[in-house]
Amino acid sequence: MPVPPIGRRQFITAAGGTLFCTLSGHRMSANSHVSMAGMERLGAEVPVPPLVRAADSDDQPHATFVSATAHAAQGTGQIREYWIRAERTHWNIVPTHRDGMMNARVPGRSTFTALAYRAYSPNFAAPLGPATIPGPLLEAQTGDTIVVNFRNETGAPVTMHPHGIFYTSDMDGAYKGAYTTPGGFVQNKRTFQYVWEAHPGTEGSWFYHDHGPLDPVPVFKGLFGPLIIRPAGAPVPDTEFFLTLHSFIPLATGLDNSFSCINGRAYADNTPTLRAQVGQSVAFHVFALDDDFHAFHLHGHRWVDPGGDLVIDTKVLGPGDTMTAEFIEDNPGRWFYHCHVFSHLHMGMNGWYIVSP
């Protein structure tokens, strides 16, 4: 069944499809494909909100950042400054073309043009590494202020919206229709400086993602990343992993199949192969960010569910939900971690966790 491009697409209800989202007045199902060109066209159809237009006409538009030290008074701790671009990246969901769990070939195409948040050195001088999905880890301790100098190079308006951390309403990175402020509508080639504060009571494992006018398309193309706020002075685990359970669906990829992914990849040997050693303190920070519910399971291990005292080895996660599993490693060998939803497991949401003695 070919995926109709935007423009030729009929209202999805006419074809008996299921409404997935409405973008700029166009209604589409999970199988509609929004290409990069389509995203640009859709983005161009969204009127620039009045408060964004007003800010745009300033002498000093968003290209100029407030010096990070200007924020020093806001928190009791450090300024954590990041330079992050949202950009396009050629992405292979199954680079090995193998399913290591089933020891089988994964047929079909698995490459598309994705979007990623990518960390840069100050003033966007140079990338700090290749584009990754999820994006760079943002870290703070209680009392710190996170400053993200954000530049949009995707071709369409996108944003950064964080979870968990404190932010004022002009810093939430959410498109709000007529009420949108500049942080909720960062146009292509423009910049915005987000300031988020790790107030006491915000400690936890969180994340950030696009929440702009084309939401949810940019999220489904890869615009999300982890954020952690640690209690000041608390010990950091010897080994910790940041995992995102999500999917790459035809809406975002134009590929024939959906892939159930962990950190942008599907199937063991493509998803992260995690490593630890007996005796280490280990933390799995997991968040879910697609249209599905997931059940994170780790073989050979169990942990106390944070916030209570129940021992579990499987944890339900909904979209926007996070969990942390912490334990002292005591069990060497080659283990699976995976989503326990069987179809997700078998559409790629699994990986290796290898513990050395």
The interface with a copy of itself within residues 120-159 (CB under 8 A) comprises none
Q: Which of residues 24-63 bind a copy of itself (CB under 8 A)?
A: 24-25, 27, 30, 47, 49
**273-277-282-284 Cα dihedral, nearest 10 degrees:** 10
Distance separating the N- and C-terminal Cα atoms of the chain: 50
Which listed range, 77-85, 135-143, 202-210, 277-285, lies at the site for a copy of itself (CB under 8 A)? Answer: 202-210
Q: Of 30 and 325, which has the nearer Cβ to a copy of itself?
A: 30
Minimum Å gap between C-beta 13 and a copy of itself is 5
In the complex, least distance from residue 118 CB atom to a copy of itself, rounded to whole angstroms: 23
Kindly indicate which of the ranges 19-27, 80-88, 124-132, 186-194 contains the residues binding a copy of itself, using the contact rule CB under 8 A: 19-27
Cβ nearer to a copy of itself, comparing 62 with 301: 301
Distance of closest approach, residue 257 Cβ to a copy of itself, in angstroms:
6
Q: Which residues lie across from 227 on neighbouring strands?
A: 138, 206
Residues in 76-105 at the binding interface with a copy of itself, rule: CB under 8 A: 99-105
Residues 6+ apart with CB under 8 A from 340: 295, 296, 297, 314
- Report the alpha-carbon distance of residue 41 to residue 309 in Å, rounded: 51
Region for residue 264 given its phi and psi (left: phi exceeds 0; alpha: psi -120 to 50; beta: otherwise): left
Comparing CB distances to a copy of itself, the nearer of 56 and 170 is 170
Do residues 345 and 338 lie in contact, with contact meaning Cβ atoms separated by under 8 Å? yes
Residue closer to a copy of itself (CB basis): 105 or 189: 105
Of 170, 238, 239, 277, which one interacts with a copy of itself (CB under 8 A)? 170
Please name the residues in contact with 149: beta carbons below 8 A apart, sequence gap of 6 or more: 65, 81, 82, 83, 84, 124, 191, 193
Choose, by CB under 8 A, the member of 144, 172, 240, 329 that binds a copy of itself.
172
- Determine contact, residues 207/322, Cβ cutoff 8 Å: yes
Give least dist CB 355 to a copy of itself, A: 8
Query: How far is it, in rounded angstroms, from Cα 84 to Cα 82?
Result: 6
Nearer to a copy of itself (CB atom), residue 63 or residue 275: 275
Report the nearest approach of a copy of itself to the CB of residue 147 (Å). Answer: 18
* CB 89 to a copy of itself: min, Å: 21
Residue from 22, 64, 69, 273 touching a copy of itself (CB under 8 A): that is 22
Phi, psi torsion values for 149, nearest 5 degrees: -85, 110
Residues 209-231: b if buried by 16+ CB within 10 A, e if exposed: bbbbbbbbbbbbbbbbbbbbbbe
Report the residue number, 102 or 234, with the smaller CB distance to a copy of itself.
102
> Between residues 7 and 130, which has the closer beta carbon with respect to a copy of itself?
7
The interface with a copy of itself within residues 284-343 (CB under 8 A) comprises 290-291, 293-295, 297, 299-300, 302, 305-322, 331-336, 340-343
User: Position 82: which residue type?
Assistant: Y
Binding mask 259-278 for a copy of itself (x = CB under 8 A): ---------x----------
Round to whole Å and give the CA distance between 315 and 237: 20
